[in-house]
Amino acid sequence: VASLAHLGTEIGKLDAEIARCAKENEVARRLMTVPGIGPLIATAIAVLAPPPETFRKARDFAAWLGLTPRQHSTGGKQRLGANTKMGERSLRRLLIIGANSVIIKRHVHAAARPGTWLGEMLTRKPPMLVRVALANKMARIVWALMARGGAYQSPTAAA
């Protein structure tokens, strides 16, 4: 019990250090405005992701993370398969965990209410597919925030 209590205090110290680093880093502060991205994920993206100029567009960044579907297209017919999972493993996992937190707390987030893109996806598709689709969308938003600057504005607030 004492070792668990000691580990709990060590984890608390590390969480406080990560939160402090996230507040000091300008990119991480902007990334934390996206629902589902907290200090840990924002700091990890700010540190581990290459500069946004490396990628031509947001889809390329999502593909680098391994969040885009594999294409088996021929003769003008587009066939999309499962996710490639060929990219940065740790960031992909963190974004999927962040998407999961948005889905779990959907009563809090306006973007997940019924009638929205996420709300409709949750009624029609399997939950894990929706989590990965939301993680893909979050990755594209992250690239846009890193490349163009600014803070995230929810679609309901922008409309």
Tell me the two tokens of residue 113: 């209410």
Does residue 158 sit within a domain? no
Tell me the two tokens of residue 51: 């500069």
Please report, in tens digits, the pLDDT of each residue of the chain (159 residues total): 999 999 999 999 999 999 999 999 999 999 999 989 999 999 999 999 999 999 999 988 988 888 876 666 677 766 555 565 666 789 999 999 999 998 888 766 666 667 778 888 888 888 888 999 999 999 999 999 999 888 887 766 444
CA distances from 47 to 19, 40, 73, 91 (A): 14, 11, 35, 11
What is the total count of domains within the chain?
1
Does residue 154 sit within a domain? no
Give the model confidence (pLDDT) of 9-31 as tens digits: 999 999 999 999 999 999 999 99
Helices in 39-151 by DSSP H: which ranges?
39-48, 58-65, 89-104, 117-124, 127-148
Does residue 129 sit within a domain? yes
Give the model confidence (pLDDT) of 91-102 as tens digits: 999 999 999 998
Does residue 38 sit within a domain? yes
CB-based burial label for 22 (10 Å; 0-12, 13-18, 19+): buried
Does residue 155 sit within a domain? no
> 71 pairs with which residues across the strands?
80
pTM: 0.81
The range of the structural domain enclosing residue 120 comes to 1-148
